[in-house]
């Protein structure tokens, strides 16, 4: 892509106050149109990078430019309208006494008119497919999957261009995971949001992400189209990530004519049909 990136990360170093070096000279460009997965072993720096992207953490060295603004000199509120970050643990983000007021909190905070607040809250709750019977419930009494949706809706209500969701599918079954991924993909395709998903679930990455950035020990080890990154098992091994099993199987069956870039069972079946019909 040749257009200007929406987010540009330049030689970013981030060190926590206790001295831990979490990010070491990161360079990354994120474009309008990206539907990206951020992967890597525990402690590789995914959450730290996300918090830097929306200005919650400021660079120790280097810079991050979002929509032309340097995160070091931009208010958290201004950043929140551009990059939304849904916490790894939704409970770190929920503090209102009802689902509706939780989602309305951000729009109220930026002092939007009541009609617009109502419209945005309704839209956000619709996007995450929250049944209306829960609107007046206390978020803490909902199951984790629904709390996650409230957390996502509360970010959506600010309508940020880029949305980072930190491990949205952890602890959820396949059906719930796919439902979450499907509304994130809808947001991307229908409303043009940049979506960044942090996950350890490689079949989910293979099915939904168009681009993969793999991190290890505060560095970026691989960055490219999903099939291309999964075709580099050596780079992934450094961060103890394995391509999805179906991709590994296809790679071992390359002699039979399977593509090492196979991502899903459906693609594998299609190739099987073609190979057997030869």
Question: Is there binding between residue 43 and ligand ATP (CB under 6 A)?
Answer: yes
Subset of residues 188 to 217 that bind Mg ion, contact rule: CB under 5 A? none
Q: Which residue has the tokens 């979002």?
A: 66
**Interacting stretch for ligand ATP, rule CB under 6 A, among 43-51, 125-133, 238-246, 247-255?**
43-51
User: How is residue 177 annotated by DSSP?
Assistant: H
Question: Is there binding between residue 16 and ligand ATP (CB under 6 A)?
Answer: yes
Any idea of the CA torsion for 167, 180, 116, 51, to the nearest 10 degrees? Answer: 10
Q: Which of 44, 47, 74, 262 binds Mg ion (CB under 5 A)?
A: 47
Radius of gyration from C-alpha coordinates of the chain = 20
* Spatial separation of the C-alpha atoms in residues 143 and 99, rounded to whole Å: 13
Q: Do the beta carbons of residue 168 and residue 148 sit within 8 Å?
A: yes
Nearest distance from C-beta of residue 177 to Mg ion, angstroms: 17
Nearest distance from C-beta of residue 145 to ligand ATP, angstroms: 19
Question: Is there binding between residue 44 and ligand ATP (CB under 6 A)?
Answer: yes
Question: Is there binding between residue 48 and Mg ion (CB under 5 A)?
Answer: no
Question: Is there binding between residue 240 and ligand ATP (CB under 6 A)?
Answer: no
Nearest distance from C-beta of residue 218 to Mg ion, angstroms: 13
DSSP assignments along 56-109, one per residue: SS--SEEEEEETTEEGGGS-HHHHHTTEEEE-SSGGGT--SSSHHHHHHHHHHH
**Interacting stretch for Mg ion, rule CB under 5 A, among 88-96, 111-119, 211-219, 258-266?**
88-96
Q: Which of 1, 3, 42, 255 binds ligand ATP (CB under 6 A)?
A: 42
Question: Is there binding between residue 50 and Mg ion (CB under 5 A)?
Answer: no
Half-sphere exposure in the Cβ direction for 209 (13 Å, CA): 31
Question: Is there binding between residue 54 and ligand ATP (CB under 6 A)?
Answer: no
N-to-C CA span, the chain: 37
Nearest distance from C-beta of residue 45 to Mg ion, angstroms: 8
CA separation (Å) from 114 to 94, 104, 139? 21, 10, 22
Identify which of residues 40 and 139 has a Cβ nearer to ligand ATP in the complex: 40
# of chain residues touching Mg ion (CB under 5 A): 3
Question: Is there binding between residue 45 and ligand ATP (CB under 6 A)?
Answer: yes
């Amino acid at each position: 892509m040749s257009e200007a990136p929406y987010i540009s990360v330049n030689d970013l170093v981030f060190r926590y106050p206790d001295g831990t070096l979490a990010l070491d000279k990161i360079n990354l460009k994120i474009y309008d149109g990206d539907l990206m997965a951020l992967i890597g072993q525990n402690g590789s720096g995914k959450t730290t990078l996300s918090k830097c992207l929306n200005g919650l953490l400021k660079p120790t060295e280097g810079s991050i430019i979002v929509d032309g603004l340097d995160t070091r000199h931009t208010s958290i509120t201004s950043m929140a309208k551009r990059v939304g970050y849904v916490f790894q643990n939704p409970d770190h983000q929920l503090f209102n006494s009802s689902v509706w007021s939780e989602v309305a909190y951000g729009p109220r905070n930026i002092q939007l008119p009541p009609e617009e607040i109502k419209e945005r809250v309704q839209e956000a709750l619709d996007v995450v497919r929250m049944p209306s019977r829960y609107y007046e419930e206390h978020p803490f009494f909902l199951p984790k999957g629904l709390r996650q949706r409230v957390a996502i809706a509360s970010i959506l209500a600010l309508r940020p261009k880029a949305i980072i969701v930190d491990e949205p599918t952890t602890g959820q079954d396949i059906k719930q995971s796919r439902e979450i991924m499907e509304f994130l993909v809808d947001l991307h395709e229908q409303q043009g949001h940049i979506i960044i998903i942090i996950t350890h679930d490689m079949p989910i990455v293979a099915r939904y992400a168009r681009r993969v950035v793999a991190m290890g020990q505060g560095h970026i080890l691989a960055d490219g189209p999903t099939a291309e990154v999964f075709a580099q098992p050596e780079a992934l091994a450094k961060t103890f990530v394995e391509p999805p099993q179906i991709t590994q199987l296809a790679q071992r069956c390359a002699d039979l004519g399977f593509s090492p870039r196979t991502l899903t069972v459906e693609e594998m079946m299609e190739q099987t049909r073609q190979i057997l019909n030869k």
